[in-house]
């Protein structure tokens, strides 16, 4: 009888955790989708003709620019996949105003020795998690 109660209790706890994980994953997808929509609306790539006019005539006009959303996604993936080397190499497909925006507002940091490399600021290391307050409880 006692083992049945313990087993039932463990199973209920497991199902509760599983349910919370599904809620967190759904919430994460919702947030990422909203971020993508926001970035597409407020940070579109420059008009191709305008971009080519501003560039030097010696530069390749066929360069495909990377969106701000893709830059952020690459920075996040780099940080998660290789935390020991989270730097992304900036090349000509990165629109300079996007890099400037990320650097100016502390979202990204330049490599101390190579200005052509940036990484995402490690926000998770900036504050003690016990001081984080969320506006609502997603696990409720």
**Mean pLDDT per 10-residue section of the chain, whose length is 140 residues:** 70 93 95 93 84 55 88 93 95 96 96 97 65 48
pTM to 2 decimal places: 0.70
Does the residue 137 lie in any domain? yes
Q: How many domains does the chain have?
A: 2
For residues 138 and 70, membership in a common domain is answered with yes
Burial 16-52 (b: 16+ CB within 10 A, else e): eeeeeeeeeeeeeeeeeeeeeeebeeebeeeeeeeee
The pLDDT value given to residue 57: 42
Distance (Å, rounded) from C-alpha 116 to C-alpha 128? 31
The pLDDT value given to residue 136: 47
The pLDDT value given to residue 10: 87
The pLDDT value given to residue 58: 45
Does the residue 127 lie in any domain? yes
Task: Give the domain range for residue 10.
Answer: 1-42
Do the Cβ atoms of 98 and 71 come closer than 8 Å? yes
For residues 137 and 76, membership in a common domain is answered with yes
Does the residue 56 lie in any domain? no
Distance (Å, rounded) from C-alpha 105 to C-alpha 72? 13
């Amino acid at each position: 009888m006692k083992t049945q109660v313990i087993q039932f209790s463990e199973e209920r706890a497991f199902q509760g955790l599983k349910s919370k994980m599904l809620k967190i994953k759904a919430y994460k997808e919702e947030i990422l989708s909203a971020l993508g929509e926001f970035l597409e609306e407020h940070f579109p790539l420059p008009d191709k003709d305008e971009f080519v006019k501003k560039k030097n005539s010696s530069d390749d006009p066929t360069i495909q620019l990377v969106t701000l959303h893709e830059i952020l996604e690459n920075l996040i993936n780099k940080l998660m996949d290789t935390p020991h080397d989270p730097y992304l190499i900036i090349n000509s497909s990165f629109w300079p105003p996007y890099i400037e925006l990320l650097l100016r507002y502390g979202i990204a940091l330049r490599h101390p020795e190579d200005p052509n490399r940036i990484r995402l600021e490690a926000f998770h290391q900036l504050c003690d998690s016990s001081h984080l307050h969320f506006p609502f409880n997603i696990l409720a």
